[in-house]
Structure 1
Amino acid sequence: MRYLAPLAALLLVSCNPMAGEDAAPVVAPILTSEQAFDEFTYARPQEARVSHVALDLVLNFDKKLVEGTATLDVVAAEGAKEIVLDSNGLSITHVTDGEGVELAWELGESVAEKGAPLKISFAETDGAVTAPERILITYASAPYAEALQWLAPEQTAGKKQPFLFSQGQAILNRSWIPTQDSPGIRQTWEARIVAPEALNVVMSGIKQGEPEDLGNGTRAHSFVMDKSVPPYLIAVAAGNIEFAEIGPRSGVWAEPETLEAAAKEVGDTEELIDAGSKLFGDYRWGRYDMIVLPPSFPYGGMENPVMTFLTPTFIAGDRSNNGLVAHELAHSWSGNLTTYASWRDGWLNEGVTSYIESRISEEVYGKARAEQEYALSYAGLAEMVETNGSDNPNTAMRTPAEISPFETAGEAIYDKGTVFLRTVEQTVGREKFDAWLTAWFDNHAFQPITSEMFLADLRENLIKGDAELEKALMLDEWVYGTGIPANAAQPDAAAFAAVDSAAAAYAKDGTLPETKAWKGWTAAEQRRFLEKLPKELDDAQLAALNDRLELSATGNNEVLFLWLEAALRNEYDPAIPQAQKFLARVGRNKFVSPLFTALWDTGSWGRPIATKLYAETRDGYHSYTRGKVDKIVGYEG
């Protein structure tokens, strides 16, 4: 029996039998500081925690649910009488210990979004309560569980087979896995997934051999993740997908109709891995594979270990949007290797990752592209602060108590974190900062972290008591304060000099760039120009923009989105058919929510269009995107 000392942060070795005798310790510490507290879990990990999850599940496409068993390895404090798990919509059949002895359990009251606590009592023998080493839960998810997107064949590229993918972040995995669904409770896992034989299955774990033909029209696929990860990183996808090798460590899965374009787009992956390893230490996950999902995937990408999930909307034919791949890869150090213990420290994942993304992009694509991407990031942050006000708590990196971390401004998490670390780098020097950041990852590998830990490590190992340096860095103001601190590293004024000049000329007298010049601009330069367009444009100006720059014909979805947003907010009728087609084929919330907002904010012109269109497209969006657009259009079901 393995014990946790109450309120201690111990590093224990998991008894994961599939990890091998030489496996490194994989049970991460449980942090007990106030900043580590996660109010979005029912778990009490200081008393009893999950250290390993073994799933044996069937994908039921007819009923749109998963069903089977989850076997949990338990680590308990001496005297613990129960373990509390997270669940949301799960139908529990029964619960036993590892020997098959029935255990008493109950589901508590369900709270919107958070779900319900699943309390499992430990058995009493001879008057003493003994915590089991393992607990087996037989269950099924609810139809259309929030984490699972079930697609009919017609919603895929091939139109022949159904498709399933999961999206667990932030707290959605509790809708298909009964475990302690908190980033601070890292777990190893393994899975056996049964699916129709026509489908391939991938997961965010290492594939174990070839699928097993079960002789009844199904196959079983097995996976292992022997490294301790936060539960939201357990992910699955199943569909008519095929694999293309990119390099010795990398490859991409996609539907056959998408595979060739996907493989070409991610062809730089091995170089990106090498760059990350050169900068911040070894890549520790073995493989780096990707899957390009159907377009209903709500995010640009999701950093699931060894199997990054990607939206097809990043495919532009010229790798101009491959900053997305660099970003998800960068999570292999920040977010996956070191993970925030609380959702309120989102910047520790996304802000640090965005900084690393910039550094990887610089290594592979050059300084000019990296500087342009940084300038876009800084501009996004500045616009957000101007819109919200510099004293608005929504602009703080560490999300304060009065704001839900799931509703905070993304620019405060991604862009402000990037600017913060760029500021530290420029203040102390790149060589010193890189050495510190690499050591930070090494010293906290496969462990949860907090803002207070990050700042304490900076002070101890980088500042080292230098009072002037401490004052210059303004660390607490960056992490806990609002707005943009005065010492922020400014973007290179030359990064977009030509584009900004062209944007100023257009704003002054309507002078447009020549078509040839526009086509010679990078995607970042085109985005910069469109982001600087005047908010109000008339039909003649919009028609001229589209004719000269051929915006509606672009193959870059980032550029197309900016054009459609400008057209819709200005009630430009000719753009409606393309906007309707775009919103019908794309589920990425970054595009969907702003376009519905643009329609809705026009009032009588756009609201009927938005209402009709959303009624037609809503079922094809992921629950995350639906939740955002529901609020925009006042959808009540």
Structure 2
Amino acid sequence: MRRTRRRIRPALAVAVVAALVFAACTDGGDERGGFRPGAADLGDPYVPGAGNGGYDVAGYRLAVRYDPATDRLAGRAALTATATTGLSRFNLDLAGLDVSRVAVDGRPAGSARDGDELVVTPRDGLARGARFVVEVDYSGVPAARADGQLGSGGFLHTDDGAIALGQPWSAATWFPVNDHPSDKATYDVEVTVPDGLAALSNGVPGERTSAGGWTTWRWAERSPMASYLTTLVIGDYRVRSGTHAGKPMVTAVPASLPENGPEAASLARTGEIADFLASRFGPYPFDSYGGVVVTDARIGYALETQSRPVYGPGFFRGGRPNPGVVAHELAHQWFGNSVALSRWSDIWLNEGFASYAEWLWEEHDGGRTAQRNFELEYAATDWSRPSVDPGRSRLFGAAVYKRGALAVHALRRTVGDETFFRVLRTWTAERRDGNATTDDLIALAERVAGKPLRPFFDAWLVGGSAPALP
């Protein structure tokens, strides 16, 4: 039985989703002087319970102290945000930690816990458009959380420290957050750990100070970042700091690994690979480069944590460098990080382009051509599985990664190299630091190519049978 062809619905679908999200920003209860509670859930069906409505975060300032001997974390988070509707109260995502103080604009605020939600009630309502700062003091033993196909994510305790990592969520296990990629923000992070341990995070490294047996590491990510792209890696690491193209380059490998092993050799090519991708996608979008290798077997993936991807141990088991995975995660700095998702059902926009970048890099590095990889993957693809809206259980499935890459290369074949790379560079320039949907990409591709392309994208991304080769 042939599956009915599915069609990517045009802008009407986007408008409906936007209306639903707007409606979710308030609920009907607890009105005070025209103010209403913000929603406890942004309504993304792929991550039920994640994100909150009624405000937009501009920046996070995090100061945390972690003691591996006791597994205890103590932190203070200051979030600068703007109310998008009149708020009587609002929620933050926070899993399993105790809150001792909450203040809004320096004044004590009420707080309550509701599962993994922190409900904050300011002394006075927040008017629509009001800019406010909420401070939260919290502590406890942070925990991992099951996040489906990738296994355990969140805050993972290790033999010598901890790793905070995971997709589609992880941030709420170590700080209060609006935990959905549609609300990107800047980050300033201070991490205090016992002397001798490294504490790695996103962005540009700042001044490192020591006192009383503790060292504070400072990091700043000035480009807006989705919360799942934050990371914290603490432990005994060999940290290398330098510059590339005038920007800081920070890489780290566990001290237990050989100094010149395949892990370090792979990270050493970060600058070279980033420069190659920039020649195809446009300027590198962030203020720093780097990467971190971890050895914890629970991390069976690599993740494109912004400006500093984290690579699990499985990518180096062959004893040889693996520049392909570096190319994949670095490509995400453009596709997925700088241009981020508006909703998780469009995850192919991240993974399809990053998978295609592996093909581009392999060809550049003397391996199979992108065309040959396209031919092999085309023959092996299950066309009954869509790339767009793949379903929660297939969020990281082959249709998202490989069929997505097929669509990217087929677009190249359809419009020609000059137009294709102009589409990519225009996309990364116009959508830089923002969010986007599949419909946004189709509209841009049609504008740059000067012809209708929706039937093409329908066939390659959601059609139920193999499309004709271009």
Report the TM-score range of the alignment, normalised by the length of the smaller protein: 0.7 to 0.9
Matching residue of 1:38: 44
Contact 2:374-2:409 at 8 Å conserved across structures: no
Aligned to 1:252: 251
Distance 1:323 1:374 in 2: 16
Task: Give the Cα–Cα distance (whole angstroms) in 1 for the partners of residues 218 and 254 of structure 2.
Answer: 21
Pairwise CA distance, 1:92: 1.7
Q: Which residue of 1 aligns with 2:150?
A: none
What is residue 202 of structure 1 aligned with on the other side? 200
State the 1:96 CA deviation.
0.8
2:352 and 2:400 in contact (8 A); partners too: yes
2-structure distance, mates of 1:201, 1:414: 32
Q: Unpaired runs of 5+ in structure 1? A: 1-30, 111-115, 153-161, 490-637
1:516 is matched with none
The answer on whether the counterparts of 1:37 and 1:342 sit within 8 Å (CA) in structure 2 is no
- Is the 2:292–2:311 contact (alpha carbons within 8 Å) kept by the matching residues of 1? yes
Change in CA separation of 1:459 and 1:151 when aligned onto 2, cut-off 3 Å? same
* SS in structure 2 of the partner of residue 32 of structure 1: helix
Structure number having the greater helix percentage: 1
Deviations 1:539-575 (A, max 9, x none): xxxxxxxxxxxxxxxxxxxxxxxxxxxxxxxxxxxxx
2-side partners of 1:128 and 1:308: how far apart? Answer: 39
The one-letter amino acid of 2:230's match is I
User: 2:184 corresponds to which residue?
Assistant: 186
Corresponding residue of 1:307: 308
Q: 1:48, 1:268 → 2: CA distance?
A: 40
CA RMSD of aligned residues (A): 2.7
8 Å contact from structure 1 (residues 337, 445) kept in 2: yes
1:327 equivalent to 2:328? Answer yes
State yes or no: 1:397 paired with 2:367.
no
Gap change, CA 1:241 and 1:372, over 3 Å in 2? farther
Q: Would you say 1:444 and 2:431 are equivalent positions?
A: yes
5 Å-filtered alignment, 1:44-55, equals 44-45=52-53, 47-55=54-62
Give, in angstroms, the shift of residue 324 of structure 1. 0.3
Q: 1:256 to 1:77 in 2, by over 3 A?
A: closer
Structure 2 distance, partners of 1:177, 1:322, is 33
Aligned-pair CA distance for 1:375: 5.3
Contact 1:52 1:74 in 2 (8 A): yes
Residue 486 of structure 1 corresponds to 467
Q: Figure out how many residues of one structure are paired with residues of the other and give that number.
A: 418
Cα distance in structure 1, aligned partners of 2:119 and 2:325: 40
Contact 1:81–1:131 at 8 Å: present in 2 too? no
Q: Distance in 2 between matches of 1:289 and 1:439?
A: 25
Measured at CA, do residues 436 and 61 of structure 1 come closer, stay the same or move farther in structure 2, by a change above 3 Å?
Answer: same
Deviation digits for residues 481-509 of structure 1, max 9, x if unmatched?
A: 254532256xxxxxxxxxxxxxxxxxxxx
- SS of residue paired to 1:106: strand
**Alpha-carbon distance, 1:90 to partner:** 2.6
Change in CA separation of 1:102 and 1:397 when aligned onto 2, cut-off 3 Å:
same
Q: 1:137 corresponds to which residue?
A: 136
Equivalent residue for 1:107, pick from 83, 108, 113: 113
- Secondary structure of 1:445's counterpart equals coil
**Residues 212 and 470 (structure 1 numbering): CA distance in 2 closer, same or farther, change over 3 Å?**
closer
**1:162-241 pair list within 5 angstroms:** 162-209=160-207, 211-215=208-212, 217-241=213-237
Give the Cα separation in 2 of the matches to 1:487 and 1:372: 17
Equivalence for 2:9 = none
TM-score (norm 1): 0.61
Distance 1:280 1:222, change over 3 A: same
Task: Name 1:355's counterpart in structure 2.
Answer: 356
Contact kept, 8 Å, 1:105 with 1:120, in 2: the verdict is yes
Q: Deviations over 1:174-194 (max 9, x none)?
A: 121211000111011111111
2:244 corresponds to which letter in structure 1? P
Task: Quote the offset at 1:309 in angstroms.
Answer: 0.7
SS of residue matched to 1:457: helix
Deviation at 1:145, TM superposition (A): 3.4
Shift of 1:234: 1.0
**Which residues in structure 2 correspond to 1:180-579 (within 5 Å)?**
180-209=178-207, 211-215=208-212, 217-244=213-240, 248=244, 250-258=249-257, 259-261=259-261, 262-315=263-316, 316-319=318-321, 321-363=322-364, 365-366=365-366, 368=368, 370=370, 373-374=373-374, 377-378=377-378, 382=381, 385=382, 390-391=383-384, 395-399=385-389, 403-404=391-392, 406-408=393-395, 410-462=397-449, 464-466=450-452, 471=455, 473=456, 475-479=457-461, 481-488=462-469
2:149 is matched with which residue?
Answer: none
Report the secondary structure of 1:54's partner residue: strand
Higher strand proportion: 2
Tell me: CA distance 1:488–1:344, structure 2 relative to 1, closer, same or farther (3 Å). farther
Q: Secondary structure at the match of 1:149?
A: strand
SS in structure 2 of the partner of residue 252 of structure 1: strand
Give 3-state SS (helix, strand or coil) of 1:66's partner: strand
CA change 1:143–1:435 in 2 (3 A) is closer
Aligned amino acid, residue 231 of structure 1: S
Checking the alignment, whether the CA contact within 8 Å between 1:95 and 1:103 is kept in structure 2 is yes
Q: Which amino acid in structure 2 is aligned with residue 105 of structure 1?
A: S
Distance in 2 separating the partners of 1:174 and 1:245: 29
Q: CA deviation at 1:245?
A: 5.7
Structure ID, larger Rg: 1
Residue 292 of structure 1 aligns to which amino acid in structure 2? Answer: V
Matched with 1:81 is 88
SS of 1:193's partner is strand
Report if aligned partners of 2:85, 2:128 keep a CA contact under 8 Å in 1. Answer: no
CA deviations 1:334-374 (Å, max 9, x no partner) are: 011101111111101111221123223323x1362545654
Residue 194 of structure 1 aligns to which amino acid in structure 2?
A: T
Change in Cα spacing, 1:81 to 1:322, as seen in structure 2 (3 Å) is: same
SS in 1 for 2:81: strand
Question: What is the distance in 2 between the residues matched to 1:397 and 1:32?
Answer: 21
Deviation per CA, 1:551-605: give whole Å up to 9, x if none.
Answer: xxxxxxxxxxxxxxxxxxxxxxxxxxxxxxxxxxxxxxxxxxxxxxxxxxxxxxx
Q: 2: CA distance between counterparts of 1:283 and 1:227? A: 12
Instruction: Give how far 1:55 is off.
Output: 0.7
User: Separation in 2 of the partners of 1:228 and 1:409?
Assistant: 24
Aligned-residue sequence identity (percent) comes to 22
1:308 to partner: Cα distance: 1.3
Paired with 1:180 and 1:416, the residues of 2 have a C-alpha distance of: 31
CA distance in 2, matches of 1:286, 1:129: 33
- Normalising by structure 2, report the TM-score: 0.81
Counterpart amino acid of residue 239 in structure 1: G
Relative contact order higher in (CA < 8 Å, ≥ 6 apart): 2
